[in-house]
Structure 1
Amino acid sequence: MDDSIFISQANYAKNMVKKFGIEIFKAKRTPFATHVKVTKDEDGKVVDVSLYRSMIGSLLYLTTSRPDIAHSIGVCARYQTNPKESHLNLVKGILKYVQGTYNHGLLYTFDTNTSLVGYCDANWAANTEDRKSTSGGCFFLGNNLVSWFGKKQNYVSLSTAETEYIAVGSSCTQLIWMKQMLEEYGVNPGVYYDNMSAINISKNPVQHSRMNHIDIRHHFIRDLVEEKVVKLEHVSTDKQVANIFTKGLDVNQFEYLRTSLGLCVVNI
């Protein structure tokens, strides 16, 4: 368009919903409920593996323009080896959400600035089976979303501060890579966070003994802060955009964060 670019996979989403027979069901307003706890469900009913993997693959392709389903489909994708009926129902729930929002897409406006900003968060011990935490983050160039991620951490964290510190480390790594591409434009990246413990650790030059167990590779954050390569700022939890990549949310919070990402409907 004259003042913006709208990226949408509306036709693909509509055909996918029809392909898997979901169009006859009532649409949902969120892909995952807040109370959902996903497990291997060893005693659950076995379902068609090919069907399950086909659904997962189709939804993963949709995340190209739909970061709002990235967390939910990422969780379901972990169970492709031996999916059960409970897992299939969760995937169908995501499809029901897509059914009601198939015409949503990412809006990129030309009226913006060159500030590079990241939001990151973590959900401590989110996985009920191995107690590993989930990191999530998203990055904006001006007011346009340019990158996002959601990932289960590699090992179990002993505290919320540790898991949040690991998440901010991953985000800083991504920011530095992006900054190197944009530094000729004088971009000054920042990270917005809702955990003061992680921010205080990064700014305090004295390492507390209780934090010695954090892997040394994450301590490069301190150097980045001291050298003013990045700036860590606090943001309230209700405005933490990265929450959408780490956990299930209630309808109001989910729709608010979805809009904050730049997802919307454009009539062309």
Structure 2
Amino acid sequence: MKDLGLLSYFLGLEISYNSSGYFLSQAKYTSDLLAHAGLIDCKTTSTPVDPQTRLTPLVDHLLSDDTLYCQLVGSLVYLMVTHPDITYVVHIVSQFMADPRSPHYDALVRILRYLKGTMFHGLHYSAHSSLQLHVFSDADWAGDPTDRRSTTRFCFFLGDPLIAWCSKKQTLVAHSSAEAEYCALADTTQKLVWLHWLLSDMGVSHSTAINLYCDSQSAIQIAHNDVFHGRTKHIVLDCHFI
């Protein structure tokens, strides 16, 4: 084994150091990805997804060769290590890898155009941040136009730095926005319990309660109500867990 000094580049990850902390980015990886897609000279866009676009499996015609599509989606999944801002849209385009079609590829190209303008963005981990864990949970309701399942999203902060994030479809169809939000809270709480024990094993203990934030007033009111009735019986397990 050899001591190669401070880590600066490893598996596409670029790590820089200064007195304020660490900065992680994947600029070269992004540049190579754009070259592979033939989009070096493409125009940039300000957002990774068009909010008016609703992708479905059976729209338009199939791609003649889906090899490039699958390669690009796989590369974007790895790029989410330092780009949490593309997590949601990569979660969408990855659902069509079996039978990608023209609109799916167009959405993929838009992500790459967005990445060209944010190539040098990354994650900064402050050396002076607190080690207090706080979590944000959110969900849409019946957002998928095909199966009407909702999407759970959460992000974990350890002080100021972002350390974990996720965007994924829920396993069941929610009957209301409150149920969708509560399913997201239950899933987030599971990850929170695991991360709490992991940090404890690493010597980072939390003597006070960990803040879990949610923007759904219905879900918050259910969380504070110990009496369940017929309208909330189907989510009582999630309520008890949280």
Indicate the residue corresponding to 2:15 in structure 1: none
Alignment partner for residue 53 of structure 2, among 12, 15, 36?
A: 36
What is the CA-CA distance between 1:125 and the residue it aligns to? 0.4
Partner residue, 2:239: 219
Task: Give 1 or 2: higher helix fraction.
Answer: 1
| 2:186 equivalent to 1:186 | no
Separation (CA, whole Å) in 1 of partners of 2:164 and 2:19: 24
What CA deviation, in whole Å up to 9, does each residue of 1:136-179 have, x standing for no partner?
Answer: 00000111111111110001100000000000111111111112
Q: Are residues 1:171 and 2:188 paired?
A: yes
Mapping for residues 229-244 of structure 1, pairs under 5 Å: none
- AA in 2 matched with 1:218: D
Correspondence for 2:175 among 150, 158, 164? 158
Quote the residue 1:195 is aligned against: 216
Give the total of aligned pairs: 221
Name the structure 2 match of 1:231: none
Structure 2 equivalent of residue 23 of structure 1: 40
Please state how far the C-alpha of 1:208 moved relative to its aligned partner: 2.3
1:146 aligns with 2:163: yes
TM-score scaled by length of structure 2: 0.87
Q: Which runs of 5+ in 2 are unaligned?
A: 1-17
Work out which structure has the larger RCO, using CA pairs closer than 8 Å and 6 or more positions apart in sequence. Answer: 1
SS at match of 1:213: helix
- Contact 2:138 / 2:181 at 8 angstroms: preserved in 1? yes
5+ residue gaps, structure 1, are 223-268
In structure 1, how many angstroms separate the alpha carbons of the residues matched to 2:148 and 2:108? Answer: 22
Alpha-carbon distance in structure 1 between the residues aligned to 2:43 and 2:234: 48
Query: 8 Å contact 1:179–1:189 — kept in the other structure?
Result: no
In structure 2, the residue matched to 1:132 is: 149
Where in structure 2 are the equivalents of 1:116-127 lying within 5 Å? 116-127=133-144
For the Cα contact (< 8 Å) 2:222–2:239, is it kept in 1? no
Per the alignment, residue 118 of structure 2 pairs with 101
2:3 — aligned with what?
Answer: none
| Cα shift readout 1:19-76 (whole Å, capped 9, x = no counterpart) | 2111222101110011110111344243421111011011111111111111101100
Cα distance in 1 for partners of 2:64, 2:234 equals 42
